[in-house]
Amino acid sequence: MINNKPSEKHKQQFPSARGIRRACSKELYRTVKRLKVWISPEQIRAAEELYVKKVMLNLPFIMENGSNRKALSDWFDENVGPEIAPLWNVEPEALNHAFRDAFGG
């Protein structure tokens, strides 16, 4: 008997809110390290809140492109980078480059 339905075991599940927050925090931490600029904990916290909110609002797109780091980096450049750059007092291009380097896109 052949079952053509995709296995429930192999379907990608939506991550928990905790998992999203931790992933966003790690990605921004790696980005800050590559910027080589001191950023206060308050600025980092504000950027994390913004980034998590954007990720939650665009979760279907992010899940669909979960294995495509280039598309996710492009999404960050367009939707998140321009809002975090003024918070951190850095150039948007420098932030986007550091994020791509840290994220692998």
- pLDDT tens-digit readout, 50-88: 999 999 999 999 999 988 999 999 999 999 999 999 999
Domain residue spans of the chain: 16-103
What is the C-alpha separation between 66 and 20, in angstroms, rounded?
13
What is the spatial distance between Cα 70 and Cα 97, in angstroms, rounded to a whole number? 12
Write down the pTM of the prediction.
Answer: 0.85
User: Is residue 105 scored above 80 in pLDDT?
Assistant: no
In this prediction, residue 11 carries a pLDDT of 66
In the prediction, which pLDDT does 73 show? 95
